[in-house]
Structure 1
């Protein structure tokens, strides 16, 4: 459902919004954000969207401004849900805080290279995916010793809390890589450039953005190994059981692919680094 269902619902929404504005303390506690009153994102006049603040090419915050593929996807989805640009706000999230912030209604939705997994589906509702990435490996261009995931044995590999990428290498693939902790993937990039670790293994869109950022900054030349080890469906995280919101977001994503918007954004953000992207509508996960 993409619009309000009637005049009475509009009137009720306006009265609820006025009450929130009048009660500043209650508003600060969550009146203006997702699901605090059990409402669906399909019926919101304003949206607070959780966004990565430090993933080049996907979600980067400079001052109070966000930019990247995920940011543009978020704006497009909001527009297609009928939310004006001036009523969309971004709030930083990390791999470790995404579920917590959705459950606490600190954000209405999360669009932050948020891979859909069975475990996460028990905590939040996922719309989409809006793109299916693939986990790959990023290394310094001068390092020719890493050609596939097995070559990560004994190598220093970035390990970001809350991300499934490091466990996928070590637990699922049984590769004994050495954990090098980092709070964010931005920190992973810094460590890779400085030689503090040997590789970063995560989604290829994230790696492509990191490689582009390194080139832009004049840092060490990096390369993607091009040895994918998994599919990473990027979902839109919503409050648990927001089926109406999920269906509305899925419709928005579908129209983005049908009218060429998704292809344009993918080319804009990842074409310059030569990443081969998919421009057909992904198979949705379902909203149940």
Structure 2
């Protein structure tokens, strides 16, 4: 379904009948008394499922903060686990009201959903096994097996954009990529440094973060395309989160011991609409 939505957006100008996208009516989040928020469930430090209906991580805490600024109580927030591949679909099909799931803002995605934020600007890096000293930067991935989660752009930025001849291996989630890395099926996993730092924190003796970031990844809050007013309210909430010190506190809570150079200033917003 995701491919259909994005393909339709790419040819919107010619209005092909086959590309009609059926979506539910979207009420503005400004009128919400409850919120359904899409988060990851397998990314330690960001969005990790800890029980039947409970999640923990930076994205989860940011989601609670934004909900509070929108006037929705913590107990009225429902989290929905999503994969990278599902993020557009769950918004378009009105299965969630917001998505906070390490959701990088791209021009193509902006054709089908709105983005508040970014609420953080991460940087793409590389995770390898601890005993691998051959990979010291992105150029060293040539000829190596590189794993990415389905629906992610991380391998594209290396193979297509930088012309590095790595062998792409794709799995449904980054957790599956990490499992392949641990047993030597792939040589590296490359994605946002916050994601990699969460996995590294769980097994510091097994992996090594290369520490040579090479892109900026703007984490956005996905909002229904037509809800411009709701998107603008999300931006006001993110601004307040940085100004009152909550953002810095949450970054320290989840990543303070990782050694990452954390960004603590309000990111430049992309704009709604």
Counterpart pick for 2:32 among 44, 48, 51: 44
User: C-alpha deviations, 1:116-147, integer Å up to 9, x for none?
Assistant: 00000001000000000011111112111111
CA displacement 1:217-245 (0-9 Å, x = unmatched): xxx52121111111100000011121111
Q: For residue 66 of structure 2, what is the aligned residue in structure 1?
A: 77
| Structure 1 contact 159–166 (Cα < 8 Å) conserved | yes
Superposition pairs of residues 121-140 of structure 1, within 5 angstroms: 121-140=110-129
Structure 1 equivalent of residue 16 of structure 2 = none
Aligned equivalent of 1:226 = 211
In the alignment, which residue of structure 2 is the partner of 1:88?
77
Query: Hey, what does 1:168 align to over in structure 2?
Result: 157
2:176 aligned residue: 187
Alignment counterpart, residue 87 of structure 2, candidates 98, 104, 112: 98
1:111: Cα distance to partner? 0.2
Does the alignment pair 1:267 with 2:255?
no
TM-score computed with the length of structure 1 as normaliser: 0.85
Q: Is the 2:26–2:224 contact (alpha carbons within 8 Å) kept by the matching residues of 1?
A: no
Name the SS of the counterpart of 2:208 in structure 1. Answer: strand
Q: State the alpha-carbon separation in 2 of the partners of residues 266 and 276 from structure 1.
A: 11
Distance 1:86 1:130 in 2: 23
Any conservation in 2 of the 1:160–1:166 contact (CA below 8 Å)?
A: no
Counterpart check, 1:148 vs 2:133: no
- CA distance in 2 between counterparts of 1:234 and 1:107 reads 18
Question: RMSD over aligned Cα, in angstroms?
Answer: 1.2
For structure 1, list consecutive stretches of 5 or more residues without a partner in the other structure.
1-34
Using structure 2 for the length normalisation, give the TM-score: 0.89
Aligned to 2:268: 283
Task: Give the aligned length.
Answer: 250
Structure of larger gyration radius: 1
Aligned to 1:49, the other structure's residue is in SS state: strand
